[in-house]
Chain A
Amino acid sequence: MKKKDVIIVGAGPVGLFAVHQLGIKGLNAVVIDNLDKIGGQCIELYPDKPIYDIPGVPECTGKELTDKLLKQIKPFKTEFFLNERVDEVRQDNKVEWTVKTNKGNEFLSPNIIIAGGVGSFEPRKLPIKEAEKFEGKYLFYSVKNKDDFKGKNITVFGGGDSALDWALELSKFSKINLIHRRNEFRGAPHTLSELKKLEKEGKVLIKTPCQLDAIEGEENIKSITLKFDDGKVEKINTDIVLSFFGLTMKLGPIAEWGLNMEKKTIQVNSANFQTNKKGIFAVGDICSYPGKLKLILSGFHEVALASVECFKRARPNEKYRFEFTTASKTIQERLGKK
């Protein structure tokens, strides 16, 4: 079990700036995120879109903001646990919380800052009942090791880049059916034209406009039924189903930690962003208080205040001193400037 001053749940912009505000106060932290990358909504939903309302930064994309925040917190050498969802929060003694992830990692700390946005990003599941039964064995929402898919009959669902890229890649050593709900694809045109070429050669089968209606099979998948827009149905044989419908945000386990919640947000005291549980804080999109705005700049303010309360809990025998970064030698040392 790792012991830290603060455990941060969520590596979105607000979780990242929390590292900074804690770091300059001399507190160490770990950051845990279910995504495979750092940056939350900025990196997952709009990496290339410009943001115009970060104070002092007239224009930067979601990716640029994430990179800048990472640079700003570099001096603190914070450890990130990605691809891990925080599942459990429990109190083992009077002052400390234990946090457990779905990978079994445990952390102990007097403070938890929940910067969980709208919840953890998870793949959008296929909307039919049988899907669950085959998930992880014959039906997948991502490709971890493409060698697992050699020499199979694979059906790929989706019209975006992930669907097209994997259809093309796996067609090198497997038979591919590509299914999309409309005739137009969103993915890169050149990938699509490669696939159309393979379709002419009979190596790839493209079916549109249709959607999945059923999956047949007992132990493993035998076939799937597609329903076309005109009502026609068609059964095609397949061993493996790959589905690429992007990610959704699922509040998930956060709802079970005994926190006061309202409409998927956590109620906080806006003086220190503490929840109804002492030592558990909520900041960024996931917190609510009168006047809350779901803006990145609001989240930055929220972590500044929360970090003060975290300091008091992590260093009960020290006095908190308000300091400016321009004037404080201690802060400058922590930032590696002196």
Chain B
Amino acid sequence: MTRIAPTEPETGEAPAERRAPRGAGPSGSPRQDAAFSGLALGASLLILVVLAGVALFLCLQAWPVVGAPAEEFYGGEGFLSYIWPLVAGTLIAAAIALVIATPVGVGVALYISHYAPRRLAKPVGYVIDLLAAIPSIIFGAWGASVLAPRIVPLYDWLGAYLGFIPIFAGPASATGKTILTASVVLGIMILPIITSMSREIFQQTPVLQQEAALGLGATRWEMVRMTVFPFARAGIISSVMLGLGRALGETMAVTLVLSGGPFNPSLIQSGNQTVASEIALNFPEAYGFRMNELIAAGLVLFLITLVVNMLARFVVSRYKEFSGANS
């Protein structure tokens, strides 16, 4: 997963500062400079080589899939019919997770950074960070054994009253092991990513700007809307994209929570599957062409994450001019 730089906060007069010390000052001897830039260059080359190696491996292994007859694929109808339900399941699960986690994450972050009394802010932030430290298999086990059975009544209710909407079509799963449950678990898992990153950026909003807003007679919420959100916009997008990357690639939790199957438009019935979970479930027994097929699925997942990240970068860069980085 490619990582997005979080908005480069406090870029205040950074360009000038960054340029100034180079080759100047008593500590920066030219030899040290050369050694360090060599080291940095080496490290970046190494990363590039490793990345290229992984990409090459994926491509080579996935190659046999190209042009193979349709019957050879799992399901017997070619690669496209095999992969699209998995891609759909992956995107649906990740999207629902984001819809849940983004408002909650940003809200909690804002509460911690601007609303909570200081005595409370610390522990709340700490607990959220702890969430990030829980291994995903634990989330999976919790989702499957605790959340799924308890969420069934909600699904029954959705099926009964909102069943006319295709995504809530009944009858609801009796076990609760649906893609919606998996999405909720994913949402909880990416919550700390969004919260801790947003919080950090909220806290970096220049005090001077916040005081400017308050000095004009803004309430705290108006001040947040005038200064904190605009300042943090690129950072929020980055954090959401980071969470999305995690949700797209998350394997263990989905594998444990979802009792998968073919594509199913209803989110409260069993069925649906994600790419990552499909690979995890089938890889141990796979050999020959099946293996190539699963790796090709992995390549598709890789491409999706790549596109998501590039989109995020594009969005972030579009807001650069007005981002506050030049104030």
- Indicate whether A and B interact: no
Residues of A participating in the B interface, judged by any CB pair closer than 8 Å:
none
